[in-house]
Amino acid sequence: MPWDPGQYLRFQSERLRPALDLLTRVPLEAPERVVDLGCGPGQVTRLLKARWPGAQVLGVDRDPEMLARAASEAPGLAWCQADLAAWAPDRPVDLLYANASLHWLDGHETLFPRLMGFLTPGGCLAVQMPCNQDRPSHRAAFDVAESGPWRERLRPLLRRHPVAEAEAYLRWLSPWASRMDLWQTDYLHLLEGPDAVAAWTRGSLLVPLLEALDDAEGAAFFEAYRHRLREAYPQDGNGRTPFWFRRLFLVVQRPPGPD
């Protein structure tokens, strides 16, 4: 199962809210070069361009289907297909913006300082990462992966601790920063439709797991997962499913002059 822009955007307003919350905290007035790392279908990239219409805005993502969707809806913007772990700009940029993308990469202790090194003096790294791995939505996926005949194939794909504690990012980034803003937010989403939480994670968390299985295995995995979530996330009296989701935010600015 590859990344599906339609499935990901099914809960577009809920997924967009943290991106907007992050955007409001970026302190830059008029950046000239802005990069959206892990731009997906491009809705946030378009918001970055709308906020800074005079900036050169580039969307970077590794998935061709996501980029095709992004380019079809904003053909005037620049798009680049690349692995975020290896990507580097051709020259320093003023803003690196990463909404719900860097938690897919390992080695944050070296990745985040590396990204800071791509910034101009006074430039800013703005990051939002889901950190919901200790909640039923994620624990159920880990449990199903470990309990089925697919366990040996799926075990290497399980990302149980994709995001470090906030204090770790403070340690890693303090040598680079003149200004740091870190916070966590728990969002309570009221999702519409049957098996809504399973539908949410099918567009994100489950993608690499289902992609590793054939159709029959994927259907069996998803049915076992969905059954667990029905107990963990019952609908309310109005047919909506309350869904708590925690996210970590970082806005880190480099000193305005030479380090």
Please name each of the domains of the chain with its CATH number.
5-23+32-135+159-190+243-253 (3.40.50.150)
- DSSP H helical ranges for 81-214: 108-116, 136-147, 151-154, 166-173, 196-202, 207-211
Q: Once rounded to an integer, what is the mean pLDDT over residues 41-68?
A: 93
pLDDT tens-digit series, residues 134-187: 999 999 999 999 999 999 999 999 999 999 999 999 999 999 999 999 999 999
pLDDT tens-digit series, residues 172-190: 999 999 999 999 999 999 9
Band of residue 13 on the pLDDT scale cut at 50, 70, 90: confident
pLDDT tens-digit series, residues 75-105: 889 999 999 999 999 999 999 999 999 999 9
CB 114 within 8 A of CB 108: no
pTM of the model: 0.90
| DSSP β-ladder status, 240-253 and 119-130 | antiparallel
Q: Is 124 or 72 the better-scoring residue by pLDDT?
A: 124
Q: Element (H or E) spanning 17, and its range? A: helix 12-23
Rounded to whole angstroms, the Cα distance separating 257 from 43 reads 33
Please name the residue that has the structure tokens 């800071």. Answer: 116
Rounded to whole angstroms, the Cα distance separating 143 from 137 reads 11
Please enumerate in sequence order all residues whose Cβ is within 8 A of that of 151, keeping only pairs 6 or more positions apart, or say none. Answer: 145
Q: Which two tokens stand for residue 98?
A: 């990463």
pLDDT at 10 over 90: no
pLDDT tens-digit series, residues 182-227: 999 999 999 999 999 999 999 889 999 999 999 999 999 999 999 9
Q: What is the DSSP letter of 44?
A: H
Radius of gyration over alpha carbons of the chain, in Å?
19
Q: Once rounded to an integer, what is the mean pLDDT over residues 1-7?
A: 46
Q: Once rounded to an integer, what is the mean pLDDT over residues 237-253?
A: 95
pLDDT at 259 over 60: no
Q: Which two tokens stand for residue 199?
A: 């539908």
pLDDT at 15: 82
pLDDT tens-digit series, residues 66-81: 899 999 988 889 999 9
pLDDT at 12: 67
Rounded to whole angstroms, the Cα distance separating 86 from 200 reads 28
CB 64 within 8 A of CB 125: no
pLDDT at 3 over 60: no
Residue 15 CA: distances (Å) to CA of 43, 49, 169, 239: 10, 19, 23, 20
pLDDT at 258 over 90: no
Cα 199 from chain centre: 17
Rounded to whole angstroms, the Cα distance separating 39 from 63 reads 10
Cα 28 from chain centre: 22
Q: Which two tokens stand for residue 162?
A: 């994709």
End-to-end Cα spacing for the chain: 45
Rounded to whole angstroms, the Cα distance separating 125 from 252 reads 5
